Each structure stands twice: as C-alpha cells, then as structure tokens.
C-alpha cells in the first residue's frame, strides 16, 4: 500500500509506495482509508519536539475510511483509560508510536471506530478526530461551557481553535477571536464570531478592557508571556483552558486577580471515548462542518507539511489517500 | 464600648475605650462579642496593601459572642451573592469598610449569625470564620477534595493553611505539609500529617519527585517563583488552589505539564453562606478544634499585630474582648 513514513527527524515524511499492508490482529478491523488530516502534533514529531519518538512510523492521527460499506472515522486517543480527570499512563495518540492514518489501510480495535456523520464528506469527516476531541473536552468538560458564556478563542487559525470557535457558536455563545492575521479574523467573523482582535497590536487586551469586555471562557494554545493578558480579561469565575504552549512557559500571572476573581486555569489534552461520542452527537445535532484549508495528495505531501509548519492555514490540512 | 480602631495606615490599630456602641438598624441584631481572631488580611490593611481602604475602622472579620443566651459566631463575607462561581461585586469581608469584630459589640444582619458549635470554647469558635470558610471553599468546592486524594498544604503555619490541613485530615486524606520552620512541620506531623518538607532547602521538591510522590490537591497562598515547583509535583488530574500571593506573581509555569497532566490552577477566596453552613456541619461532624497560637488582651494588642506581621504563629492569633 501507499503510506507516508517518517524515517528521520528534521525531515518531512516520505511516500513509500510498497509499504506492507497491515495485518489485523485477532479483534482488529481493517479500514480502507480515503482521507486523513494533519495536526500540529505531526509537525512537532518531525522536529523531535515530542517525548518518546520511535521511527520509522506512518504518521497521522485522523482519518475517514470504509470497512466494507460502512463509512467510519477513527477515535485518535489509544489507551485513554476510564478516569474522568486524566488519561491513563498507557495513553498514546494514534500515529506514533502506533502507525497512523497517512496510508491506504490501517488496522484498529473495533472500539476506536465510529460511524461517520451522514451529512459530512469523507474529507470533512477526516478532520474531526483530534481537533474536535481536544476542543470538545477543553470547552465542555474542562471549562463547563454554557450558552450564556462569552468566549474568547485565542489564535483562531489552527484546527483545534477553529473547531472550538464552531462548537462555542453552536452552543449559543458570544464568541470573540484573536489572530495575528486580519484575514483570519475576517473569516472567523463570517463564521459567526462577534469581534476579533489582532494580537500583533501591542496592548490589544487593553482596548478590550477599555470596552468593559470580560470573558467567561478563554481557549489558548500559545502560552508564553501573552498568557498574563488573558488573566486580565477573564471575567469573575472565568475559565482559561490551555491545550498547548507554542510560546513557552507562562510568566507573570497576577495571583491577586486569579484568587479574587476565582479564575480557573485548566490544562487539557484530547479526550475520552465518552467525550468523543458526545462530540459526534453534538456536531451532528448542529450539523457542524469542519473547515478544510486545502486538500493535498500523495504527490504534494511536502507542501502539506510546509503549510503545517508555516501555520498560515485557516482550518484543516487534509490528504486525499485515493 | 472598647474597640480596636485603625486610624492611620502603617500603624497598628489603637484601643478606644469610649467608642460609641453600635445602634442596630431595623433588622440587625446586637451581638456582645467575647473573642475575635485576626487574619492575614488585617495586616495587609494596616499596610495599605488592600483595595479601597476607608479609615477609621474597627478591624476584625471573625468573632464569637452572645445574643442574650444564644452563643453565636459570625459569617464574615458580606454581600457574597448567589453565584456559585464567584462573589458579587457588592462583596466585602467584615471588618473594613464595615466595622468589624475587634470590639465589645457589633450589629449585624440575622443571616450573618450562626450558632457556635457546642463542643468549642468561645475562643475556638471565634477562629472559624474567615480561615475555615476560605479553606473549605478552596478544598471542597474548588479542588473537589475526596478522601482518596493525596494533599500538600504549602506553608502550614497560617490560619487558612492549618485549617485546610485539619479539614483534609478529617476527610481521610493523606496530608503532606511544607513550612520554612521545622518546628511547624513537627506540629503538623503531630496533628496527623504524614510528611513535611522545609521549603528553605533548595530543590526540596526534587526529593519529593525522587520518592515518586505526586499530589492530587495542593493548597498554596505564597505564589511567586516557587509556584512552578508545585506544578511539577502535581499528579495527573491534580488541582492546585491558590488563595494568596505573598511572594508575588506566578512565574515560569510549564504549559506542557499543565495540559498533559490535565492540571487545574484554581483561584479561591472566602466562600458563600452555603459553604459556611457546610463548613460548620463538617467541623462539628469531625469535632475539629481550631488551633490557637496565643491569646491576647486589650493591653497586648500591639504584640498581637506584631505576631501577625512576623508570621511565626502556628494557628490563630486570638483576642479576648472581655
């Protein structure tokens, strides 16, 4: 089969046209994949910025495909466990160390296979997995989002942030966004966000404060020095969820604001099978369509990883595996 | 009546032997106070380190006293409101701007008056208010403490920390403590804590990590640079509650640990009337006795405030008002 295999760090994965087809172990199902989607994690792995990297590996955590006539998508968190608060030690996202979705076939346990929502294309269904799961747990399980909350999505271009934006809008929330790109802000406004702020403008948060705006829920994956501004624009009882740290450690967080406003800073990563089921139910209920930035093919895989590296996308970077 | 009145910042309050007795407004009750307890907040007010200070004022948030034969203690959070997540804008602790408990009489609304638990002395009952309420909300409402949790109380000498230690022990938790004083650690061990660490030893947290110990719940009021070590010794799904920031802003918090371990950093201050009721029920059920560091009288008020300033106490600094 064709597969996209990472052989060495600091390179992009390369096409192997004659990779051995996976042989399902006793209970496993063989899925013929049609589309896969990339995640920021895939880029970190190519850069060696991930713990316990084992090579070579077929990359990819998200995919849509077929088991006979049954159209399925994959739950991407292997060995999550049963504790509501956190994943088990055995947890590993699909696509390293276990071979992932950037191939024509994958063998998985039946419990990792879900029916793809009818109204989505294969390519759209392939986008849901990791981004949807991460956004869903962050918003609903961790931040306990409700329709009356005012929400800020910090850095709206990426897969999780954009899905969080769509989920919060569907939940009935007033959604604000930030981005370093005015174009991405415009796209988010078209989706239904009510306001956007370009974080490249120094002290952008002060204009928010001046307008008397505070946020009940803030979603962030940047971390770094800018996180201290998020504390300042959080409402009393506010929840700030962090699922990444692109800009490094959190600095200079004002404790007095944190305790006096009863703020919660909540770490979150991916989610449980139960949360995945709830996510699929939620997006079907509101007929949410994941946003695809661009579609790539077997002959444009380098361009796909360059796009992932450069973070200019608005929505998911998707592979056709056909 | 006798009252301890703060007239100027950067001074301690002084005894006024002829302060006018409070005149209860329509619904208010007149309480003849017998004991009052100090809180760290009282020191911050004398230093001007508190917002919206109005002088002169009778200080003190906690007290025990009598309405006729009825022995009562006071709920110290005025105007808390009805939102579970946070206090209302109208909230103000008792004892600034409204006159507090360091006097022979106080007039309060009936809803702020609770029966003192039978098994406690007046002096013990006077200790419960602010420290107990803060510890209870921090542990049970914010950190959702359960008996199976391993708990770290960071800086065990102060009123809230010591009450948190006692509440967590009563809940059946394995409790560890830190202090800058080996003597305080020994006293906490006598109370039932299982281990103690002197945070003046550099890298004390590394020995904890080396022993494979992680904490489900950590209670902290120091903040500052040391807080980043608390992140490192938190267990997956761990909750770190902060109710103070004696050592300043939080620095250098590792985002990867926060999101991968699904940690929660939870700001907390005081608590609601419902939480106060639950606290009184809890301490009565487990017959918890607040710990008194030393008792002061009208002629030793300066010494009491010096003790508060120097933070050498183990337990509450209490005033006899008789």
Residues B57 and B119 occupy one common structural domain: yes
B277 within a domain of the structure (yes/no) = no
Torsion of CA A122, A126, A127, A130, to 10 degrees: 160
Residues B107 and B144 occupy one common structural domain: no
Contacts of A304 (CB under 8 A, 6+ apart): A38, A296, A317, A319
Is B83 touching A (CB cutoff 8 A)? yes
What residues in B contact A40, CB-CB < 8 Å?
none
Residues A263 and A146 occupy one common structural domain: yes
Share of chain A above pLDDT 70, in %: 100
Which range of residues forms the domain containing residue B207? 133-267
- CA-to-CA distance for B274 and B75, rounded, in angstroms? 11
A195 within a domain of the structure (yes/no) = yes
Query: Are A253 and B258 in contact (CB < 8 Å)?
Result: no
Average of pLDDT values for A151-164? 96
CATH code at B197?
Answer: 3.40.50.720
End-to-end CA distance of chain B, in Å? 11
What residues in B contact A250, CB-CB < 8 Å?
250, 252-253, 255, 258
Residue of chain A minimizing CA distance to B243:
A259
Beta strands B234-242; B292-296: pairing state? unpaired
* Candidate from B228, B258, B267 with C-beta closest to A262: B267
Query: Are B265 and A258 in contact (CB < 8 Å)?
Result: yes
Query: How close B302 gets to chain A, by Cα (Å)?
Result: 28
Residues B152 and B239 occupy one common structural domain: yes
CB pairs under 8 A between A and B: 113
Q: What is the mean pLDDT of chain A?
A: 97
Residues A150 and A190 occupy one common structural domain: yes
Q: What are phi and psi of A182, to 5 degrees?
A: -60, -30
Closest C-alpha to A265, from A162, A143, A173: A143
Is B49 touching A (CB cutoff 8 A)? no
Residues A41 and A72 occupy one common structural domain: yes
B249 within a domain of the structure (yes/no) = yes
- How far is C-alpha B56 from the geometric centre of its chain's CA atoms? 24
CATH code at B44?
Answer: 3.90.180.10
A282 within a domain of the structure (yes/no) = no
Torsion of CA A286, A291, A295, A296, to 10 degrees: -110
Beta strands B92-93; B77-78: pairing state? antiparallel
B186 within a domain of the structure (yes/no) = yes
- CA-to-CA distance for A100 and A41, rounded, in angstroms? 12
Closest C-alpha to B94, from B65, B58, B120: B58
Residues A157 and A123 occupy one common structural domain: no
User: Could you report the per-residue pLDDT of B5-31, keeping only the tens digit for each?
Assistant: 999 999 999 999 999 999 999 999 999
Query: How close A229 gets to chain B, by Cα (Å)?
Result: 13
Burial A240-264 (b: 16+ CB within 10 A, else e): bbbbbbebebbbebbbbbbbbbbbb
Closest C-alpha to A140, from A172, A105, A161, A168: A168
pLDDT interval class at A51 (50, 70, 90): confident
User: Could you report the per-residue pLDDT of A103-123, keeping only the tens digit for each?
Assistant: 999 999 999 999 999 999 999
Cβ-contact B266, B242 below 8 angstroms? yes
Closest C-alpha to B95, from B140, B126, B123: B126
Residues B108 and B160 occupy one common structural domain: no
Contacts of B205 (CB under 8 A, 6+ apart): B197, B229, B230, B232, B233
A281 within a domain of the structure (yes/no) = no
pLDDT interval class at B51 (50, 70, 90): confident
pLDDT interval class at A100 (50, 70, 90): very high
Query: How close B184 gets to chain A, by Cα (Å)?
Result: 25
Query: Tell me, what's the ipTM?
Result: 0.97
Domain count, chain B: 2
Query: Are B250 and A249 in contact (CB < 8 Å)?
Result: no
Residues B172 and B77 occupy one common structural domain: no
Query: Are B264 and A265 in contact (CB < 8 Å)?
Result: yes
pLDDT interval class at B207 (50, 70, 90): very high
Residues B96 and B116 occupy one common structural domain: yes
Best mutation site among B259, B268, B270 for testing chain A: the one with the most A CBs within 10 Å? Answer: B259
- CA-to-CA distance for A46 and A32, rounded, in angstroms? 25
pLDDT interval class at A138 (50, 70, 90): very high
Is A258 touching B (CB cutoff 8 A)? yes
Is B254 touching A (CB cutoff 8 A)? yes
Residues B262 and B139 occupy one common structural domain: yes
B278 within a domain of the structure (yes/no) = no
User: Could you report the per-residue pLDDT of A259-280, keeping only the tens digit for each?
Assistant: 999 999 999 999 999 999 999 9
Residues B140 and B119 occupy one common structural domain: no
Query: Are B87 and A253 in contact (CB < 8 Å)?
Result: no
């Amino acid at each position: 089969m064709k597969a996209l295999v990472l052989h060495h760090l600091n390179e992009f994965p390369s096409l192997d046209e004659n990779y051995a087809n996976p042989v399902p172990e006793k209970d496993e199902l063989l899925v013929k994949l049609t589309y896969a989607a990339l995640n920021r994690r895939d880029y970190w792995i190519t850069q060696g910025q991930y713990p316990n990297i084992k090579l070579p590996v077929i990359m990819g955590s998200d995919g849509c495909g077929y088991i006979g006539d049954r159209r399925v998508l994959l739950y991407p968190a292997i060995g999550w466990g049963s504790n509501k608060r956190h994943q088990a030690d055995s947890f590993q996202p699909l696509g390293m160390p276990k071979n992932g979705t950037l191939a024509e076939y994958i063998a998985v346990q039946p419990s990792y296979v879900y029916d793809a929502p009818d109204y989505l294309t294969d390519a759209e269904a392939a986008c849901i997995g990791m981004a949807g799961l991460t956004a869903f747990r962050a918003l609903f399980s961790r931040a306990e989002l409700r329709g009356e909350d005012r929400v800020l999505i910090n850095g709206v271009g990426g897969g999780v942030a954009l899905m969080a934006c769509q989920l919060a809008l569907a939940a009935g929330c007033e959604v604000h966004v930030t981005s370093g790109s005015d174009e991405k802000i415009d796209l988010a406004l078209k989706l239904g966000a009510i306001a956007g702020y370009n974080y490249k403008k120094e002290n952008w948060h002060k204009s928010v404060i001046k307008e008397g705006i505070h946020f009940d829920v803030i979603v962030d994956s940047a971390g770094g020095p800018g996180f201290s501004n998020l504390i300042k624009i959080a409402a009393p009882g506010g929840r700030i969820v962090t699922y990444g740290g692109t800009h490094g450690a959190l600095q200079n967080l004002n404790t007095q604001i944190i305790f006096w406003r009863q703020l919660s800073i909540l770490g979150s990563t991916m989610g449980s099978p139960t949360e995945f089921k709830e996510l699929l139910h939620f997006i079907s209920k509101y007929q949410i369509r994941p946003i695809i930035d661009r579609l790539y093919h077997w002959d444009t895989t380098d361009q796909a990883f360059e796009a992932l590296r450069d973070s200019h996308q608005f929505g998911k970077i998707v592979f056709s595996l056909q």
